[in-house]
Amino acid sequence: MSLTKSSDILGMDLTGEGGGKLGTVRETFIDLASGQIGYVIVEAPGLLGGSGKYHPVPWALVRFDPVAKTFQADISKEQFKGSPSYDRTQLANRDYAWDELSERYFNAANADVDH
């Protein structure tokens, strides 16, 4: 078992297909029923740093690269840019159903990533 503190995950990059940076992990959401990470919240890059738009990426799609010290997902930049995105207020409000929308968008139910 390889353990890390949740605070160490924050600020790490998420890279996509071809190794290009998709964004920076800003938050994690835990599934209380399973005790597992459900989503990483990735801030897309903007012109002067962060964009203020946060993309929930299902944890089932994410894996850690210990050599590069980044998270990776088989997601293209175009797919990531087109994924559901929210501001911080929207993420805190369950009425937006962002988890269900992201799950459907990424078709994460069929993901087979070994953590």
62-80: pLDDT as tens digits: 999 989 999 999 999 999 9
Q: Is residue 62 part of a domain?
A: yes
Three-class DSSP category at 59: helix
Q: Is residue 114 part of a domain?
A: no
- Total of domains in the chain: 1
What CATH number is attached to the domain comprising 22?
A: 2.30.30.240
Q: What span, in angstroms and rounded, lies between the C-alpha atoms of 85 and 53? A: 6
Q: Is residue 46 part of a domain?
A: yes
Q: What span, in angstroms and rounded, lies between the C-alpha atoms of 74 and 86? A: 21
Structure tokens at 24: 């920076």
Q: Is residue 36 part of a domain?
A: yes
6-62: pLDDT as tens digits: 889 999 999 999 899 999 999 999 999 999 999 999 999 876 666 689 999 999 999
Q: What is the mean pLDDT of residues 89-93?
A: 90
For tokens 């269900």, name the residue.
Answer: 100
Q: Is residue 50 part of a domain?
A: yes
Q: Note the pLDDT of residue 109.
A: 53
Q: Is residue 1 part of a domain?
A: no
Residue 1 has pLDDT above 70, yes or no: no
